[in-house]
Chain A
Amino acid sequence: MNDSTSSVAPDSPLLPDFADELVGYTLTVNGSTRDVEAGWAGESLMYVLRERLGLAGAKNACEQGECGSCSVLVDDDLVCSCLVLAASVTGQQITTVEGLLADPVTGMSDVQAAFVSEGAVQCGFCTPGLIVSVHDLLEQNATPSELEIREAISGNLCRCTGYGRIFEAVNVAIRNRASGGAA
């Protein structure tokens, strides 16, 4: 965790080329108030979560909203955190994969546990984004059809699995919730 500007590499494309753009603001992340000190006004939420707040769950791949690896919830809307201007979501509820309700014993949410049990993880890079998307789907629709599942994760690219085991994991999570398993 590093919340000073020193975490920005000198050659970073995110480094401002003007000095007066450093701002401080406060975000609400996973229910906690987090101060962002001296951040550049143009920083994305993805960048701030990872580089300034030490929350590495949202992954940085495309930085253009194509891959879904940085998916988070902002006021219960599933969005790509790379396309959210961090300084614009002050006062809104930001939920990352780290903030999903976890089983106290396993430390995992039911969706995470289903991904593990079904082997829905290969390299794992896309997994946090998928977990947030699936979590969002099941909160809105406890009994999604296969088409609805496919559509819900259509913004999360996985280049390893071919998605078969991911669908299995979603179905396991659905069944577990229906039978009163861990939420």
Chain B
Amino acid sequence: MPVATPRSLEAALSALKAAPESQFLAGGTDFMVEVNAGHRRPGSVIALSRVPELRTITTSIDSSTMRIGAGVTYADFARPPIADAHPALAASARSVGSPQIRNAGTIGGNVGTASPAGDTLPVLAALDATIELMSVDGAVRMVPWREFFVGVKRTSRRPDELITAVHVPLLDSHQDYLKVGTRNAMVISVAGLALVVDFGGRNVRVGLGSVGPVPLRCEEAERWVVDHIDWDARTVPDPRSYETFGALVAEAAKPITDHRSTAEYRRHAVGVMAQRALMRLV
């Protein structure tokens, strides 16, 4: 059976067990582009769009974490409860493609494809998300984002595993996602930046996209800026801090020059975005 259309998680895992070489199909927004261009010839496909278990959004009993099913679409991200809980995730999802693309594309697809330009990935990095995988035997494995993304379009998902959800901590935070591309709409990221200012934990997290093989964090910039925020007043007392923060974030980027942009421009862009995002949030 070349195209399986399972209607349950159990059926999806059974299909994988029966045909371990199968290609998973989520929203199709990356995969079908390659198929249409003749770059991919799927031997067998497991289509996940009608697995209801992958569409659920739940909050842990202690309200510390939101579990977002892998089949939740970008369009869903722009609405409550995700948009209320994780504004940067909503902003990143809203920056993806067009309404048509956002209706189809999913978080599981974005994570599984692991493109350096994947818009939700720097946000998941900044939020310290965990990827939930389930094997054909039903074993659940929780993998922190840092261990999940291992290279350009490469993840630590094992061949007998399906990405079932992402777990995102719920924070008392201000957060945003900024993106640079060649135009304002429907554009692949040339550089992306997620900033989370966690007032509860009194820390700052910066996630970068499209400036490295995997999403990056900027630990030095994060540590530096924590001491330059007045956490009680929720202000940045010295306006020069914005510029320094931007410079530190730019230093942390590992950009390359490719057909979309140059390394120099990308480094500059993330510095500007870091500065701008901090001004917006604090």
Contact = CB atoms under 8 A, between A and B. Distances in A.
Given A44-B35, A65-B97, A88-B47, A80 B25 contact: no
Nearest to A90: B5
A152 B35 contact: no
A18 B41 CA distance: 9
Contact of B32 (A13, A21, A82, A90): A82
A110 B2 CA distance: 41
Contacts of A14: 36, 38
A64 B186 CA distance: 12
How large, as a class, is the contact surface on chain A? Answer: 35 or more
Given A65-B101, A152-B99, A154-B186, A83 B29 contact: yes
Contacts of B50: 92
B48 to A, nearest CB: 9
A176 B186 CA distance: 31
Given A44-B35, A83-B27, A66 B2 contact: no
A82 B103 CA distance: 14
Contacts of B99: 78, 133, 151-152, 154-155
Interface string B25-46: 1011100110111101111110
Given A64-B36, A88-B25, A155 B98 contact: yes
Contacts of A13: 36-38
A139 interface: no
B97 A44 contact: no
A155 B101 contact: yes
A64 to B, nearest CB: 4
Interface string A151-171: 110111000000000000000
A23 interface: yes
Contact of B37 (A63, A85, A87, A152): A63
Contacts of B49: 88
B104 A77 contact: yes
B98 A68 contact: yes
A11 B104 CA distance: 30
Contacts of A83: 27-29, 32-33, 100-101, 104
Nearest to A86: B3
Nearest to A129: B100
Interface in B66-99: 97-99
Nearest to B28: A83
A79 B5 contact: no
B185 interface: yes
B104 A41 contact: no
Given A88-B47, A88-B49, A41 B2 contact: yes
Interface in A25-53: 25, 41-42, 44
Interface of B: 2-3, 5, 25, 27-29, 32-33, 35-38, 40-45, 47, 49-50, 97-101, 103-104, 185-186
13 contacts: A23-B3, A42-B35, A65-B98, A77-B103, A77-B104, A78-B100, A83-B33, A85-B25, A85-B47, A87-B3, A88-B25, A133-B100, A155-B101
Interface of A: 13-14, 16-18, 21, 23, 25, 41-42, 44, 63-66, 68, 71, 77-80, 82-85, 87-88, 90-92, 133, 151-152, 154-156
